[in-house]
Amino acid sequence: MDSGVKNSARPGPDRPNPSRPNPSRPGPSRPGGAKRGRSLGQKLKGLLGLHRDGAVDSLRRMRAQPLNTIMSLMVVAIALLLPALLYVGGKNMAQFGESLADTNRINFYLQTDISPTQIELLQTSMRDNTLVERVEFISANQAAADFAIWSGLGNIVESLDNNPLPASLVIHPVDTRADTAVQIRDAFANEDGVRQVTLDQAWVERLESLLQLVDRIVLALILVLSMAVLFITGNAIRTHIASREAEIRVMSLIGATRAFIARPFLYSGAWQGLLGAALAWIFVQLLLLLFRGPAQTLLAFYGEQYQFIGLDMRASLILLAGGLALGWAGAWLSVSRHMNRWH
Amino acid sequence: MIRFDEVSKQYPGGHQALKQVSFELNKGEMAFLTGRSGAGKSTLLKLIMRTEELNQGQILVGNRNIHRMAASEIPFHRRRIGVVFQDHQLLFDRTVFDNVMLPLRIEGYDKHEAARRVRAALDKVGLLNKEKLNPVTLSGGEQQRVGIARAVVNRPQILLADEPTGNLDPDLAAEIMLLFEQFNQIGVSMLIASHDLSLITRLKHRILTLDHGSLIKDELQPSKQEPASRNSHGANV
């Protein structure tokens, strides 16, 4: 038992007043004190108190070493920042995916000499097809007007003597499956008056797989950087443990349970994760503030329905909860590795 | 209170620290454990605390075989035992008050109740006026008394001390022993390891002598307070 902390004990100049240790006073060491009769309520209150102490104590220790704390928090924050930004980017790109899935349609460009009756007939037969949900007629004039607006080449279109654009029939299929679109195309491509058929399906599919890839990349980065956060806090807690070795030994000798010894370290891991995540959240908001203006302008070119999406409430909560859980888990890794030395 | 039955302890590497040691310390009894350095005094105390495992025999503390306990029970076993170390093992990152508070914090005591007990313990060792100081500023004798206050603050039934006066001059050592006797008078069983024969023979308590791991003498000396006989129970229990 005589190991460890070297003491500074030396025969001091003081001589305790002989009357000081007072035997007549009720001693603190009467066996079987009140504690053995503590009620469940008192015990619960005691346990709550222990948790509060652990939480407060670990915060106080973080505050006592501001530079260390700030650096650890920054590392955690930066590790969490990247996946959060990618998530926001992915969210914004996904808007296009959704609205382009809506534009899943087949264009039948018509011959210029087609008669209105023929168009009417063609349109009716298309509507009767079970794979078709809706048919839209776009006249040559409307196509020219749309093109003028869409391309910004209004002057040139107006300057042309006759409209080079054909009228078209646009079919919206009942579903977004590729073979549905192909069946529809095959059904009507050879009808009289149809000059050309275009299918946007391939393009939509390409965009969708791109978005899926982005999703996977975000997921992989979240995993990798979560591991980073886990090991960063794990290492920080390991150094905390090393610096409090003497205290841990004394506490173990006077009857502290493993849970009691581990608690402040677990709390500091959790704090580190939570505060790191909060810092990451602030950084994300600052960066989004920076991106918002240009991004809004860019999105406006594609139409009013596109809005810049920030970090929503749900994602924010996941970020904070994730940080907390990772910090706790990192601390737990270090603590459990040291546990066996505490007896 | 404490019973050793044929206890042997061999450290990894072959050093035989204890050889078939048997004795019994009764409730409320005070005994000294003596012998040269390396005779096995510290090992014997460590076995009672179960910071070391034994190789043979059994140790009963309060009728429980402590080396059959699950690891999760060990902290609760240790809470029933107060320990005073030669180098007092105080923590210098907190006040005297917080050092003495530690065992009560571990047990999750209510703050006010705990503070009351800490002050009672500090009063008992005569350091109530130093509760706000850092122990590093105290003298060796005072530090040891803080260590004693911490050992008794949760009112253990057993108090162990490992060379508690090893770093103190004779007057201070006598002071500390007087304090131990006072705790013994209110019913605490005590086992104190000390090689300071001149001091402990003056005190008229039972003396267990270890030599190279064997218990070679178990002398019952007439005590000042109680007629000490091997099987007598403490007078104040």
- Burial class of residue B154, CB neighbours in 10 A (0-12, 13-18, 19+): buried
Question: For residue A217, what are the contacts with CB-CB under 8 A and spacing of at least 6?
Answer: A86
For residues B144 and B198, state if they share a domain: no
- ipTM, two decimals, is 0.82
Residue with tokens 């149809």: A194
For residues B96 and B125, state if they share a domain: yes
Query: What stretches of B71-223 adopt beta strand conformation (E)?
Result: 81-84, 158-162, 189-193, 206-211, 214-219
Among candidate residues A155, A181, A199, the one where a domain is terminated: A199
Tally helices (H) and strands (E) across chain B: 7, 10
CB-based contact A150:A142 (threshold 8 Å): no
Query: How much is the mean pLDDT over chain A?
Result: 79
pLDDT band for A19, please (50, 70, 90 cuts): very low
Residue A50 contacts B, CB cutoff 8 Å: yes
- Inside any domain, residue A230: yes
Question: CA geometry: angle at B64 spanning B58 and B69, to 5°?
Answer: 80
For residues A323 and A220, state if they share a domain: yes
Query: Higher model confidence: residue A193 or residue A324?
Result: A324
Query: Which of A23-37, A144-158, B104-118, B202-216 has the weakest average pLDDT?
Result: A23-37
pLDDT tens for A68-108 read 889 889 999 999 998 888 888 888 877 776 666 556 778 88
- Inside any domain, residue A25: no
Name which of B108, B136, B168 is nearest A50 (Cβ-Cβ).
B108
pLDDT tens for A111-137 read 888 888 888 888 888 888 888 888 888
Among candidate residues A199, A221, A248, the one where a domain is terminated: A199
For residues B19 and B64, state if they share a domain: yes
Chain A residues within an 8 Å CB radius of B167: 7, 9-11
For residues B113 and B40, state if they share a domain: no
pLDDT tens for A21-32 read 443 333 333 333
CB-based contact B17:B9 (threshold 8 Å): yes
Name which of A9, A27, A343 is nearest B186 (Cβ-Cβ).
A27
Residue A41 contacts B, CB cutoff 8 Å: no
For residues B144 and B165, state if they share a domain: no
Domain of A91, in residue numbers: 54-99+207-342
Name which of A7, A14, A49 is nearest B87 (Cβ-Cβ).
A7
Query: How much is the mean pLDDT over chain B?
Result: 87
CB pairs A-B closer than 8 Å: 178
Residue A75: in which H helix or E strand, if any? Answer: helix A66-102
Query: Which of A267-271, B21-25, B49-53, B222-226 has the weakest average pLDDT?
Result: B222-226
- Averaged pLDDT, A148-153: 72
Query: Which of A190-204, A249-263, B21-35 has the weakest average pLDDT?
Result: A190-204
Residue A245 contacts B, CB cutoff 8 Å: no
CA A135 to CA A174: how far, in whole Å?
11
Among candidate residues A173, A199, A225, the one where a domain is terminated: A199
Residue A325 has pLDDT above 90, yes or no: yes
pLDDT tens for A233-289 read 999 899 889 888 888 889 988 889 888 889 889 999 999 999 999 999 999 999 998
Residue A65 contacts B, CB cutoff 8 Å: no
- Inside any domain, residue A273: yes
CA B129 to CA B184: how far, in whole Å?
25
CB-based contact B26:B234 (threshold 8 Å): yes
Chain B residues within an 8 Å CB radius of A11: 139-141, 167-169, 172
For residues B76 and B167, state if they share a domain: yes
Name which of A5, A45, A47 is nearest B89 (Cβ-Cβ).
A5
What integer pLDDT is reported at residue A103 of this predicted model? 61
Query: B156–A53: do the CB atoms touch at under 8 Å?
Result: no
For residues B221 and B167, state if they share a domain: yes
| CA dist list (Å): A40 to A143, B77, B200 | 80, 20, 44
Domain of B38, in residue numbers: 1-80+157-237
